A and B are shown apart, each in its own frame.
Chain A
Amino acid sequence: MIFENKKLLRRLNEMIDAAIAGTFSAETYDESLISKIESKMMRFLEISRLKQDQTENERSRVRSLIGDISHQTKTPLSNVTLYAGLLSEQDLTDTQAKLARQISVSAEALSFLIQSLVKASRLESGAIKIEPKPGDVYALVETAAGLCAANAAAKNISVEYEQNTAHITALFDSRWCAEALFNIIENAVKYTPERGKVSVAVTEYEMFARVDICDTGRGIREQDLPKVFERFWRAESSGDSPGAGIGLYLAREIITSCGGYIKVSSKEGKGSVFSVFLSKV
């Protein structure tokens, strides 16, 4: 009995090794327990391999679907925008002009949403290749903050960020990470009241470069903290403020893809701090 057990365990160990190496195959067919386990193990490995294949297939199907959507909606949408613009240039009554403008705004919102979704899907399915390369974090912050300047100015919000002649080098995909940071800063600006302040600070660590985006908005409730990066999640209190709830989700996907991570801390009523960690190696 003890001998049998030992034999059984030894064979199990071999089987698992073979399974990891991908060379497993059942060897005996008799009434013994070990033979039964072999057969089942083989079956299990086969099922999981086939499942993996199936997932791969589905992924490529999704990829092409997304491509199709983005491609196929482009023309009609730009047409809508174009004709809405043309319409508003006509002699319109006030009411009509207002309606025309609404069309433009919605079309643009839709375009933005589709673009965001396409981005998100591409990121998810791996259609977008994110290629982290060494770059200057300050330059990255500057690019992102620059993109927000217009919106911030409209709300009379100052976006402050450090300028430094020194470089902090980290690994990131400059185009996509700029967009990620932009999304975060944009989000901060969105939830900060007029004449508020958004500050961006960079700290260097041994392994990481940290970018803190600090706002003076209303903050996030503690129980909502884990949800802020979820797709289409919007705080209940965000009410009618514009947005699709996809920016932070995208930001996190991008940062994660670059090998970094993101976290948030917040106090309700006192504003939030989003910290982006970019890997240096």
Chain B
Amino acid sequence: MKGVNTENKKLIRTLTARKLKSNRARNIVAVIAIALTCTLFTTLFAIGASIFKSVQEATMRQVGTAAHGGLKYLTQAQYSHIKESPLIKDISYSIIIGVAENEALRKNQTEIRYGEDKSARWGFSYPETGDMPRAGLEAACSTITLDLLGVKHELGQKVPLEFTLYGQKHRVEFTLAGFWEGDGVMAAQQVWLSEEYLNSVVKMPEKVDFTNGMDDIAGTISADVWFSDSFNIDGKINNVLAERGYAPGEISTGVNWAYMTSGGELDPMMTLTALLVIVMILASGYLIIYSVFSISVTGDIKFYGLLKTIGATGKQLRRIVRAQALLLSAAGLPIGFALGFALGYVLTPVIAEITEFKGASSVSVNPLIFVFSGLFSLITVFISCRKPGRIAAKVSPVEAVASFDAKPAGRREKRTHKVTALNMAYANITRKKGRLALVAASLALSVILLGSVYSVVRGFDMELYLENQMSTDFLLSHYSVLSVFVQGDDYQGVDEDVRAEIKKLNGLTGYADIYLHEEPAHKLSQIGHKNLNAILDSGMGDYIAQQWGSRPGVAQDLEKAKTEGIVPLHVYGAGDLAVSEVSPDVNFDILKSGNYVIATHFFYENASDAEVKSVYNAGDKLTLTNPEGEEREFEVIAVAGGYPYSMGPQHSHLLMGSDIIMADNIFQTFYSNTNPMTTVFNVADEDISAAESRLKNYTENINPDLDYRSRAYYMKEFESLKRTYMMTGGAMSFILAMVGVLNFINAVFTSINSRRTELAMLQSVGMTGRQLKTMLFGEGALYALITVISSATLGVPLSYLIIRAISGQLWFFKWNFSFMPTFVALPVLLLICAAIPLLCYRFTQKASLAERLRAQ
């Protein structure tokens, strides 16, 4: 019970409340500071949560259900038995009838099922128009299926379906009872049929084995399961099965991996960025809140000293300081929550656009956002008022009684200067050097950051960027190849139709197909193996292990590469235009004349200091294997730096091994790919916009599976990247500037407020209001000057560091440094620094001179 009783607490509360009341100006600044901090945290968490939510939703759509997990191939008996498990929160099911075999649906897996409403809803396949099929030959399906079948989006339309069951081909026309907006991301489309129809064609199996393929699967139940929460779903499913008495492996299970990205799976880069931003918000919050409290405690030091003489202990004083901070937080946090959420609401779509998390257009309203941002804000507040609390606690009691009895001021003699307003201003602001430094530093920091960001953005080089991103005017692929997020790429997506379409474009000046074959386990030649080990041993191996080691399988792959010389390969077959992009020196005629290939450098060549950069070098021989198992020897005629990023599949690159490029005709003789992965082509400048609109139309309406990139697209992307940097950097500078200005306002206000009597005294001895204002203006201007000077001197190395840090990751950056922002900032700073003291002065000037003199 520590002796802290109620009387005591009540008193501390009273003192806190009264002290707060007496410090109105300080409170406003403090509440703004706390609200600002909380706003930033809330915004960050709101955006973060929204992105997380949308990534999760996107994954769910890919998976095809929102449910936590699934059980497959159950019999009726098993389902009704498992359903009763107390460990399950909710469960629903669907029964597979077959897979549609219509020619029009060949490319899209379309499953024919009977399903409960709940199961359909969880699977994002519940009719938005009409209803689930209830009886007879009713059906419900997505607009994608309807489009492919050429059926109008209208209830009552006839939907022809073909499927095979028990060796018998069914061709049935169903009546459309309901449909919903289709989602191309989903792995398979669903067509719902009625329970009545299900029972009429499917024999429900008593026991499931898979000897007869589809016929055995038909009639089995797929159950979707929800648990109380999404932690350890795998374990929960196993618990349910164990509880129901099934042996492990007896029933097929699946975990919805949308729920598995909750922890370690987050992108490390993003996590790092988020952490960095948290630290920055914390630091800027600290800077302002700390300075507000430290100034106010120093100003109130007599008050705390007095309490100590009367018998308040250090602990009690610290509690008074902390309680003030808490009460101010109570006012600041809700403001921060509201503002932050609003800001998150506005910014989420913008951020989503920039970061390509396209789905994240809606804001998450997860209450955890507020819990976390509140927590972090409070942490900031507590850290910030720790030192001021200690100052208050350590106050010497004589401070309060400050007797004039034989206690000389600790100042040495000073030369007499002529008393001018400016001299006085200088003397005034140097009275509290610590405060001056703090305020100037926080102002300077924003100027420095702004300057750095400006320099970085100015250093962005579009040519460098495009060179790496895209060298031809257009590029076309299956959308999965171009998307960073979609796994399971279609490497043969560019079909005959679209190639014909492209060849019909006006002004086509160059054209090349690019084929890709992935060889997952290539046995290196002896030389190749030696080279690989040299590269790995020279730092590359450690680098890979450190960067990627936590990913599943990487460690084993690395080991396999080292000991057995087995690595994955990407084998490209490319036309002239593409090959000249890879390696302009290679004569395509030679390349296509025989079994010649171009090899490439190791992916992270810079991480290795080995002399050899490539596994295979000019003159080396290597043996490739095609899917049929046939081997063929090729000779390396050239080594290129790397295969262009833009022309490969976006989400996969090789950690080890090599990209191998051969001529398209040779590729076709060895591999049996029918269609290329990508085509690249150039169009005469005047025809570019016409070509682009045709491509746009084609990929949106005729074959939505295809997507294209144009130089214009990358130019736009470049601009948006530039904007992103400008925006983020600008926002950070703005926040810092706000912190600085708030600090400045606080410092000036308290200083003028505490000097009220002194100023009145100056006036009473004959200083005119004009002179006084000149003095105050001088104080502000000196602040501005010190800020600019320090940011132009001390700021340069700091700025250099910042620019280095940001631009280090940008290959399209040309070094560049500018003082421009610092000079632009000067007049703004001057204006702010001059205006604030004068405003504060006006504020104090309301009372009459006599009143102010008496005020002490």
Contact = CB atoms under 8 A, between A and B. Distances in A.
Interface stretch (B1-9, B350-358, B540-548, B672-680): B1-9
A221 interface: no
B3 A31 contact: yes
Interface string A239-281: 0000000000000000000000000000000000000000000
A32 interface: yes
A33 B7 CA distance: 13
Interface in A1-54: 1, 4, 30-33, 35-36
Interface centre among A1, A31, A32, A33 (most CB of B within 10 A): A31
B315 to A, nearest CB: 8
Nearest to A31: B3
Contacts of B728: none
A31 B313 CA distance: 9
> Interface extent on B, as a size class?
under 10
B343 to A, nearest CB: 45
Interface in B1-39: 1-4
A1 B4 CA distance: 15
A4 B3 contact: no
Nearest to B2: A31
Contacts of B1: 1, 4, 33
A30 B1 CA distance: 13
A1 B1 CA distance: 8
Contacts of B4: 31
Interface centre among B1, B3, B313, B315 (most CB of A within 10 A): B3
Interface string A158-202: 000000000000000000000000000000000000000000000
A273 to B, nearest CB: 61
Nearest to A36: B3
A36 to B, nearest CB: 7
Contacts of A35: 3
Interface in A124-146: none
A32 B3 CA distance: 4
A190 B407 CA distance: 83
Contacts of A32: 2-3
Contacts of A1: 1
Interface in A189-225: none
Contacts of B3: 30-33, 35-36
A35 to B, nearest CB: 8
Interface string B321-341: 000000000000000000000
A31 B1 CA distance: 10
A36 B4 CA distance: 12
Contacts of B315: 31
A4 B3 CA distance: 12
A31 B8 CA distance: 10
A35 B2 CA distance: 11
Interface in B32-73: none
Contacts of A4: 1
Nearest to A29: B313
Nearest to A34: B3
A32 B1 CA distance: 8
Contacts of A31: 2-4, 313, 315
A4 B313 CA distance: 23
A218 B423 CA distance: 109
Interface in A65-114: none
Nearest to A4: B1
Interface in B263-322: 313, 315
Nearest to B315: A31
A80 B704 CA distance: 144
A35 B3 CA distance: 9
A4 B315 CA distance: 22
A35 B315 CA distance: 17
A4 B1 CA distance: 9
Nearest to B3: A31
Contacts of B313: 31
A218 B1 CA distance: 69
A36 B2 CA distance: 12
A31 B5 CA distance: 10
Contacts of A30: 3
A32 B313 CA distance: 13
B5 to A, nearest CB: 9
Nearest to A32: B3
A33 B4 CA distance: 9
A138 to B, nearest CB: 70
A8 B1 CA distance: 12
A32 B315 CA distance: 13
A51 to B, nearest CB: 26
A144 B662 CA distance: 151
Nearest to A33: B3
A5 to B, nearest CB: 10
A30 B315 CA distance: 11
A33 B3 CA distance: 5
B114 to A, nearest CB: 65
B496 to A, nearest CB: 86
Nearest to A35: B3
A234 B553 CA distance: 117
B783 to A, nearest CB: 44
Interface centre among B2, B4, B315 (most CB of A within 10 A): B2
Nearest to B4: A31
Interface of B: 1-4, 313, 315
12 contacts: A4-B1, A30-B3, A31-B2, A31-B3, A31-B4, A31-B313, A32-B2, A32-B3, A33-B1, A33-B3, A35-B3, A36-B3
Given A31-B3, A32-B2, A35-B3, 8 more contacts: A1-B1, A4-B1, A31-B2, A31-B313, A31-B315, A32-B3, A33-B3, A36-B3
In order of increasing CB-CB distance, the 10 nearest A-B pairs are A31-B3, A32-B3, A33-B3, A31-B4, A31-B2, A31-B313, A36-B3, A4-B1, A32-B2, A30-B3
